[in-house]
Amino acid sequence: LLEVDSIYIFADDEIIEYDGEMAADTLLEFLYDVIEEPVEIISNDRELKGFHNIEEDIKLMGYFKSAKSSR
């Protein structure tokens, strides 16, 4: 996988490429459709600390300028 500015979801021995717009709401809608685990929006320091305390093998965090940011 050598593409730049691409997002890939690895799930159940399958690679799913996201090729939609990079707006936060569109990307989250795609993730909700693809993955079974919940997506959580972290909006303050307390929630961020809780996220860091989760003892899971895989965690993913995305940073967006705003809920409507396109990049």
SS3 of 31-60: HHHHCCCCCCCCCCHHHHHHHHHCCCCCCC
Mean pLDDT (whole number) for 4-17: 80
Distance CA 10, CA 30 (A): 14
Q: Where are the domains of the chain?
A: 7-53
pLDDT digits (tens, 9 = 90+) for 12-69: 788 888 888 888 888 888 887 887 766 677 888 998 888 888 877 666 777 777 767 6
Is the full-model pTM beyond 0.75? Answer: no
The pLDDT of 3-20, averaged and rounded, is: 79
